[in-house]
């Protein structure tokens, strides 16, 4: 009986340690929520005020799959540049996990960005956008949903264009990166 108990204990320990091989993005958000270098927002999908009656079927499916957005931003200043380097390395290490699948990389006038996701190609549960500019800081945006389809992301953007959403709730986020 001792042998069976010991074997079960060892198997459970191995399973628990292998499942949590490193910090998750969600843990990173929670750990830095109160950090004065960061600004965080949690926004429900309903804030977009999208008129469902004006949407086509694909846009409706895209909107219904979206739950909320989590935004965490680090504004770089002269006094926190060392912290910026440390935090950026932490985020890069988390995003290197096999858990995340890269969708695309972009270079824009605002800096570099990567888009990654968690889930299956046709049933995404989370989209992560990590944008950074070494002179301004970085932002992490988690788009959480249920079985989102990458093909519907374009539909989602078109639906947002039809909405009367003017960036309410994101004013502080926009000001964060203004020069």
Q: How far apart are CA 111 and CA 28, in angstroms?
A: 22
Q: Would the pTM of this model clear 0.85, i.e. be above it?
A: no
Per the DSSP assignment, residues forming a β-bridge with 71 are: 41, 141
Position 110 scores a pLDDT of: 79
What is the separation of C-alpha 25 from the centre of its chain, rounded to a whole number of angstroms? 8
Total domains in the fold of the chain: 1
In a domain, 15, yes or no: no
Q: What local confidence, expressed as pLDDT, does residue 179 receive?
A: 53
Structural domain boundaries enclosing 142 = 22-176
In a domain, 133, yes or no: yes
In a domain, 10, yes or no: no
Residue 17 resides in a domain: no
Residues of the chain with pLDDT under 70: 1-21, 48-49, 152-179
Q: In Å, what is the CA distance from 34 to each residue of 30, 41, 99, 114, 128?
A: 8, 12, 26, 25, 21
Q: Assess if residue 40 is contained within a domain.
A: yes
């Amino acid at each position: 009986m001792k042998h069976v108990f010991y074997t079960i204990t060892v198997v459970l320990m191995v399973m628990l340690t292998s499942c949590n091989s490193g910090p998750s993005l969600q843990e990173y958000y929670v750990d830095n929520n109160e950090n004065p270098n960061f600004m965080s927002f949690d926004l429900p999908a309903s804030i977009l005020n999208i008129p469902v009656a004006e949407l086509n079927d694909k846009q409706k499916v895209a909107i219904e799959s979206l739950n909320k957005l989590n935004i965490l931003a680090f504004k770089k200043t002269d006094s926190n540049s060392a912290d910026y380097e440390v935090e950026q390395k932490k985020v890069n290490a988390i995003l290197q996990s096999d858990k995340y699948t890269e969708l695309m990389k972009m270079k824009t006038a605002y800096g570099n960005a990567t888009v990654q996701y968690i889930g299956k190609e046709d049933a995404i549960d989370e989209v992560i956008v990590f944008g950074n500019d070494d002179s301004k800081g970085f932002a992490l945006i988690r788009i959480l949903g249920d079985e989102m389809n990458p093909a519907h992301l374009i539909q989602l953007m078109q639906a947002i264009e039809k909405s009367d959403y003017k960036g309410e709730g994101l004013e502080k986020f926009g000001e964060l990166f203004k020069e």
